[in-house]
Amino acid sequence: MHEVHKQNLTFQSLHRPLRYKFFNTLGSGLDAVGLSAIDLEIESLLEGARKLTQLDDFGNQDFYVPLTYLIESLRTESQLNFVGKYLSKNMLTELLSERLRAQQYFQSFPEVFSEKIYKPLFVIGMPRSGTSFLFNLLCQDPNSSWIKYWELHTPSQHFFQGEKPDYAFAENALIKKSSQYLENTKRLMPQLDQVHSIDAVGPYECFHLLERSFVCHTFGLYANVPTYIEWIESEYLKTDTQLPIDLYQYYYKQIQLIKNLRNWNDLGAQATSTELEKHWVFKSPVHLWSIDNISNTIPDAHFVHIHRDPLEVIPSICSFIALGRAVLSDQVDLENIGKQALKRWSEATARALSIRQKDPSLKVIDIHYKRFVSDPVETIRNIYYQFDYNFTPELENSLRAYISKSRESKRGQQNKYSLEQFGLEEGEVRERFHGYYQFMNSI
C-alpha cells in the first residue's frame, strides 16, 4: 500500500487545501465517536433526492440493483475518508435527483421522444489515447451538435419553477452551478487542467448519462470499487442476451431531452431546419464495452476508433485514476490500480474488436494515434469523406485555429509517470495486449 503524498511519485503531487484538511479531520473525529451524519444507505439516498426535488418518480426501477452494488463497494472496499463519504453521497444524490427531474420532463413533454438524433458519430478508444483531442476537433464543425458540460445536468430544477418553463433562467443557473463545481474540483485537483481540461460551456463526453443508470466504469475512477465493476461487466456488458437494463435506450432518451430542451431557447422558438439536420458527436472510452448495444439502439451510429500504444496509454490511465481516487481516500494502492487498469482495458479493447469482427456491418473507422497527431486536419477530412459528412473550408479554418491554440496552451507541460510506479512491466503489457498490437499493425 502506497500513501499518495510521498514525494517519489512523480506523476502527481497531491494538493489538499486547508479547508479540506480541517473538514476531513473534524469529520473523522465525529466518525470515531459515532456522531457523523453521513451514511451511504440506498433508502437514505433515495429519500434525500426526493426531498431535494420534491419529486418521487424515478422512472424505470432497474437502476436499483446496480446502485445497491455500487454503494456496497463504496462502503466496504473504497476506504473513503470523511470528505470521500461526503462527496460520494452528494454525487449519488445528485444523480438520483437528475433521474427524477428527467422523468418529470418525459411525462410533461412526451414529444421529446420524437426528437431525431441525426447520423451520430461516436469517438471511442481507451482513455488517454487521444479521444479528447479528436472529439474536440470534430466539435469545431458548425454543422455538428454536441453536448455541453452543463447540459449533462439538465433539466434544472429551475426549469419547472413558475407558471411556464423558463429555459434561459434554468440555463444560466446550471452554467453557474457547473462552473462553481469545476472550480471546486480544480481546488482539490490542481493538476486537472493539465491532464483533462474541462470548460462548463464547452463540449464534454457523455458518460454522465450512463451514470444515471448506475452502470458505468467511471465510478471506478473516483473510488476503488472492484466488486461493483466486476459485477457490471459480468451481468451487463459481457452477455450476448438482452441487457437487464436497457442502458442505451435510457441514454438515447436523455440525448433527446437535451435536444428538446434547446427548442425552448428564445422564448420557446422551434429549432431551424439547419439545426435539425446537424449531425451529433459523442465521446467516451466506456463506449468501447458497448459498440453492439449502441448500434442496436441507434442503427445510424458511426464510430471513430482511435488506437495508441498501450505502453503509453496504461501508465497515463493509472496516473489519472490515482489522481481521482486520492480526492476521496487517504490510501491509494498504486499496484492495485495498475493491475485493475491492465485487466480492464485489455478486456475492453478485446471485446470491442470481437464485436466488430462478428458484425462487419458496423460503421467504424480506425485511426492510428501517431498518424492522427502528425496531420489532424487530414485525419478529420478522411473521416468526413468516408462517412459522407460535409468538410467545408470554414471547418478547415476552425480546425487549424483550434490546433494552433491547443499546441500553444500545452507547451512546456510534462506529465510524469511510468509503468513501474504501478507495479507493471513492459512484457506484461505486451502480453495482455498481444492481439491488439497485431490489430494496430494491420491498420
Cα 83 to Cα 27, 324, 340, 441, distances in angstroms: 8, 13, 24, 46
Report whether pLDDT(271) > 60.
no
- The predicted pLDDT at position 291 comes to 94
> Which residues span the domain enclosing 197?
2-442
Cβ atoms of residues 108 and 257 within 8 Å: no
Under a CB-based contact definition with an 8 Å cutoff, are residues 52 and 93 in contact? yes
Task: Name the more confident of 197 and 37.
Answer: 197
Rounded Cα distance between 231 and 423, Å, is 25
When mean pLDDT is compared across 39-43, 123-127, 178-182, 407-411, the lowest value belongs to 407-411
Lowest mean pLDDT, pick from 78-82, 115-119, 262-266: 262-266
Local confidence band at 280 (pLDDT 50, 70, 90 cut-offs) = very high
410-429 mean pLDDT: 81
pLDDT of amino acid 241: 45
Please check whether residue 146 is in contact with residue 280, taking contact to mean a CB–CB distance below 8 angstroms.
Answer: yes
**Of all helices (H) and strands (E), which one includes residue 283?**
strand 279-283
Residue showing cell 431557447: 265
- Provide the pLDDT for residue 158: 84
CB 223 within 8 A of CB 328: yes
Structural domains of the chain, count: 1
CB 53 within 8 A of CB 156: no
pLDDT at 107 over 60: yes
Pairing of strands 302-307, 121-124: parallel
Confidence of residue 32 (pLDDT cuts 50, 70, 90): low
What is the chain's mean pLDDT, rounded? 87
User: How far is the C-alpha of 318 from the C-alpha of 35, rounded, in Å?
Assistant: 35
Residue 183: half-sphere exposure toward Cβ, Cα within 13 Å: 6
Q: Residue 431: which CATH number?
A: 3.40.50.300
Model confidence at 270: pLDDT above 90:
no
Q: What is the pTM of this model?
A: 0.90
Q: Give the helix/strand (H/E) hosting 21.
A: helix 18-32
- CB within 8 Å of 415: residues ≥ 6 apart: 11, 194, 195, 316, 319
pLDDT at 310: 98
Q: What is the mean pLDDT of residues 216-244?
A: 81
Neighbours of 335 (CB within 10 A): 14
Q: In the prediction, which pLDDT does 275 show?
A: 59
Q: Measuring CA to CA, which residue among 419, 11, 69, 65 is closest to residue 219?
A: 69
Name the residue with cell 469523406. 385
| Phi, psi at 78, each rounded to 5° | -85, -15
